[in-house]
Amino acid sequence: MKDRYGREIDYLRISLTDLCNLRCIYCMPPEGISKLQRKEILTFEEIIEIVTAAASLGITKLRLTGGEPLVRRGVTELIRALRAIPGIRELTLTTNGLLLPEMAQDLKAAGLSRVNISLDTLNAEKYSRITRLGTLDQALNGIRAAQQAGLSPIKINTVLLGGINDDEIPALVDLTREHSVELRFIELMPIGCVVPFGPEAYIPASTVLERVPALQPLENARSGVAQLYALPNAPGRVGLISPLSCSFCSECNRIRLTADGYLKPCLHSDKEILLRGKHGDALTEALKAGICAKPQAHSTLSANERSDAGRNMNEIGG
Ligand code: SAM
Ligand code: SF4
């Protein structure tokens, strides 16, 4: 279905839980969050009903996220059920990767198309500092498990943190020389109650091109919201995602479903539409209303201009 500005909305991102086994400094407060009660979280039956209605309106692509989607018990069964919904052609998942060693094969067998795995650094000490609870080895084992299970092409999400991981840009880009991955650098977003980063942390994605001048723009230069580049003769590629320095609202094709059952037409708006409790025509109409409520663009974001998301990132899913 098209929204009011002619954008074809075919992508639904679903937050399965607000819980996480990490506490990344840009996403969650150190003490964690006041977690949603179990009864507040959408059941799998409710998610399947919403996705079925969304598919009837033209949603073809799903991404499961969170919090950490792999900590939601039964996620593999949910994937199997979502894949069977007529009209759903692609089902992906964003994860910190820690649980992939034990889950990747089953996720693939259930119909998961591929994964995005978050990795902000190749330095073990820094990884523990950024995620507060995890180890680099756990994340790297997760990436290996995804590769072995054939959940590819694997995309690696790296949040650019000026003064923290920007010194590693060349080393991270170097991963694409050997591995056929898409390494995506994402600008830090001022959203939710995250650590109050100073302006130096908000570096533009174009910094990557300054630090690695050998990167060349690819002919087919877009992958979703990422602008694509590659090193000469490298099997992997590099994506730059610039929500701050170069907003991509005019091409936004997505809506979001929160774990507690609200449709979020725009990541950076607190306008939400309750879907929980609606069925049949009422559910379809609420979804249409959500798609029509997508703003043309969100307000500008910068170190001093915070997102109006109204929630922490772990409650929305990115
Ligand atoms: N737990 C999973 C993970 O970390 O991949 C999925 C949920 S997480 C909220 C989804 C993505 O949002 C991750 O790639 C994470 O790095 C990114 N993210 C979280 N907070 C962010 C922020 N303040 N700015 C930019 N990206 C952020
Ligand atoms: Fe958890 Fe992902 Fe947020 Fe990190 S970015 S705290 S892994 S939800």
- Is 159 touching ligand 1 by the criterion CB < 6 Å? yes
Q: Which candidate, 205, 216, 124, places its Cα nearest to that of 176?
A: 216
Q: Give the pLDDT confidence score for residue 30 in this predicted structure.
A: 81
pLDDT band at 75 (very low <50, low <70, confident <90, very high): very high
pLDDT band at 195 (very low <50, low <70, confident <90, very high): low
Q: Give the pLDDT confidence score for residue 313 in this predicted structure.
A: 82
Neighbours of 224 (CB within 10 A): 16
pLDDT band at 312 (very low <50, low <70, confident <90, very high): confident
Between 222 and 94, where is the model more confident?
94
Evaluate if residue 193 carries a pLDDT over 70.
Answer: no
Tokens standing for residue 278:
């609606």
Nearest ligand for residue 97 CA: 1
CA 128 from chain centre, in angstroms, equals 21
Nearest ligand for residue 21 CA: 2
Q: Give the pLDDT confidence score for residue 162 in this predicted structure.
A: 97
Evaluate if residue 183 carries a pLDDT over 80.
Answer: yes
Q: Give the pLDDT confidence score for residue 97 in this predicted structure.
A: 98
Q: Choose the residue to mutate in 94, 114, 257 for probing ligand 1, maximizing ligand atoms within 8 Å of C-beta.
A: 94
Sign of CA dihedral 34, 117, 303, 258: negative
pLDDT band at 296 (very low <50, low <70, confident <90, very high): confident
- Is 28 touching ligand 2 by the criterion CB < 6 Å? yes
Which atom in ligand 2 lies closest to the alpha carbon of residue 65?
8
Cα 88 to ligand 1 centre (Å): 24
| Residue whose tokens read 């979001």 | 256
Mean confidence (pLDDT) of the chain: 93
Could you tell me what percent of the chain has a pLDDT over 90? 76
Cα–Cα dist 128/124, whole Å: 6
pLDDT, tens only, 213-263: 999 999 877 777 899 999 999 999 999 998 887 777 888 899 999 999 999
Q: Give the pLDDT confidence score for residue 194 in this predicted structure.
A: 57
Q: 248: Cβ–Cβ under 8 A, 6 or more apart, which residues?
A: 225, 242
Which atom in ligand 1 lies closest to the alpha carbon of residue 187?
25
* Residue 31 one-letter amino acid: E
Evaluate if residue 34 carries a pLDDT over 80.
Answer: no
- Is 138 touching ligand 2 by the criterion CB < 6 Å? no
**Residue with CA nearest ligand 1 atom 25:** 188
Task: Give, for 284, the enclosing helix (H) or strand (E).
Answer: helix 280-292
Between 184 and 198, where is the model more confident?
184
